[in-house]
Amino acid sequence: MILVACATLLIGILIYVFYPQRKAEEQTQKTRLEFLRERKDSIYENLRDLNFEYRAGKYPEEDYLAQRAGMENEAAQIVAEIEFLESNFHAA
């Protein structure tokens, strides 16, 4: 009896997880601007985490400086692209 109940529950879970959504066409697509804003927020959060972990002594200074420089460069590129897209959007 327990085996039947477990099998039924397993089948129900599998159907719930893998059954395709009926309204897939209604799902919204992110614009490039929305994607960039989310990526910028993610990079800023990663920079805060990196600074915290460096202060906690988890990174040597050379690794910290290299990772921070890479993240700051990526953030600068993203901010520049956001500003470019926003200026083009407002000018249109």
pLDDT in tens, 16-66: 888 877 665 666 778 999 999 999 999 999 999 999 999 999 999 999 999
Maximum mean pLDDT: which of 5-14, 16-25, 71-80: 71-80
| Residue of 13, 75, 64 whose CA lies nearest to 39 | 75
With a CB cutoff of 8 Å and minimum separation 6, the contacts of 89 are 33
Q: What is the model's pLDDT at position 91?
A: 67
**pTM, whole model, 2 decimals?**
0.66
